[in-house]
Amino acid sequence: MVEQSSFSIDDVSLFKRKLLHWANQFTVFICLDNNEASHLSSSLEFTVGVDKVRELSLTNEELQFKQLEEFQQTSSESIYGYLAYDLKNELEQLHSKNPDYLEMPSTYFFEPRYTFHISDGSCTINRSTLESLHLIDQINAMVLTESSEHANELEWKSRMTKEAYIQHLKTIKNNILEGTVYELNFCRELYAYTQSFNSLAAFLRINENAKAPFSAYLKMEDHHVLSFSPERFMKHENGKIISQPIKGTLKKGNNYQENEKRKIALFNDEKERAENVMIVDLVRNDFAKSAIPGTVNVDELFGVYEFENIIQMISTVSAHLKKDIHPLQALKNAYPMGSMTGAPKVMAMNLIEEYEQVKRGVYSGALGYIKPDLTYDFNVLIRTLVFNQKKGYLSLQVGGAITYDAIPEKEWEETLVKANSVLKYLG
């Protein structure tokens, strides 16, 4: 049994910030923050895992899901990490030919030495009372300087021109007309070169403003992932799996009345509903591979939710696992998520590779945790900055689902809305 100690925290907000600055002294740590959002949020309120007892870091290897299962089975505590989008190549006869500017593992998980769970004003640490008190003293002693709170201004460039993006959308619409695919998730990359980017300060600033329900920060040596995701890929608990795909995005208005009008407009938008229901059907199909027949259920269709900066259409699909299906096998059967691929999924992934200009890597993968009892929860890695500190390369990929009704100019504008929901806090 893992030893744990709990303590009440007087100033939770200040303690969280100091905790992250203390954790930043280590080469590896992770923070998961649900920002006390709605029922869509991560089941962990605020968790920080610090330092690695052991890790699983895989690149271009076979049987990565199998290795993850073995790694989890031999871990005494929860493990934290991500699965990159390009694991698709392990699951289907696919490949990734586009340039990889970030050079990150395709699978990375670690078992932390220290874990801190903060909920309802209390902090639980996986250490004895005496050692926990010593850690809390170290954290409280951290001095937060003014300079650590600000990110540097950045010069962002688009990997794809607007003209090229629109031409690709016209081609995709022809693919849809010909029946090759029904829907395709198409993305482009914004990037910047910088040697002075303070990734932790940037995460704190954006997270404070975006308040996304699946926010996460992962530092692994020179690679940093800053995710402000509104979307759950997949959760498992007690034999039940849940996915909450998002399709449909609008910028928030200037006041309550305007927001209400926009929420109604999004709910009634036939194009957005068509996109959403296609992905729901894809999730249902993915879940059916693992589920007891008759248990795949659409708990909510076309739910419209208001976040800090945007309004989104979210549906919820659930199912109960067959007795002979391992929970991580169910994760594998649904990977990668339908909301970031298209339908039919394999053909969509082939075309994504053909039309996009960079390897997705971590983007549109999944980040989260797996507990010893195989409870897990993973986000979709969207609204996510990825930083290669050694190269000084900062990346933000954005995109959307394309159907035949898509208007190229509007789709371009939607990518700007999604990018701006993150970048506007960086100056």
Cα 309 to Cα 132: distance, rounded to the nearest angstrom = 38
Cα 216 to Cα 114: distance, rounded to the nearest angstrom = 17
Least Cα distance to 71 among 32, 97, 110, 38 occurs for 110
Q: Which residues contact 266 (CB under 8 A, 6 or more apart)?
A: 248, 250, 272, 304, 311, 312, 313
What amino acid positions are annotated as catalytic residues?
231, 247
CA distances from 425 to 101, 149, 203, 381, 383 (A): 24, 12, 10, 19, 13
Q: What is the DSSP string of 314-327?
A: EEEEEEEB-TTS-H
Work out the number of other CB atoms within 10 angstroms of the CB of residue 36.
Answer: 11
Work out the number of other CB atoms within 10 angstroms of the CB of residue 340.
Answer: 27
Cα 205 to Cα 418: distance, rounded to the nearest angstrom = 17
- Angle (CA) 248-375-382 rounded to 5° is 30
Mark 79-99 as b/e (b = at least 16 C-beta within 10 Å): bbbbbbbbbbbbbeeeebebe
End-to-end CA distance of the chain: 47
Mark 129-147 as b/e (b = at least 16 C-beta within 10 Å): eeebeebbeebeebeeeee
Cα 94 to Cα 346: distance, rounded to the nearest angstrom = 8
